[in-house]
Amino acid sequence: MAAHPFEYEGHAFRMSVTLGVARFRRGQTIDEWIDAADKKLYVGKTTGKNRLVR
């Protein structure tokens, strides 16, 4: 995504995406699952952005 130029209302810009992905494990609560993904997202953002951490 970072390599693709976007345009909106005549303004060109670039963007990046960082994702944290966690597998839902049997016995986990939804809050635990979201927390696991959030921690992975934080790792991605603090280690360079524009990445997928799973």
pLDDT of the residue at 47: 96
Tokens of 11: 């303004």
Among all chains, which residue has been given the structure tokens 């959030």? 38
Q: What digits encode the pLDDT tens for the residues 5-49?
A: 999 999 999 999 999 999 999 999 999 999 999 999 999 999 998
- Is the pTM for the entire model greater than 0.95? no
Tokens of 19: 């994702």
pLDDT of the residue at 43: 97
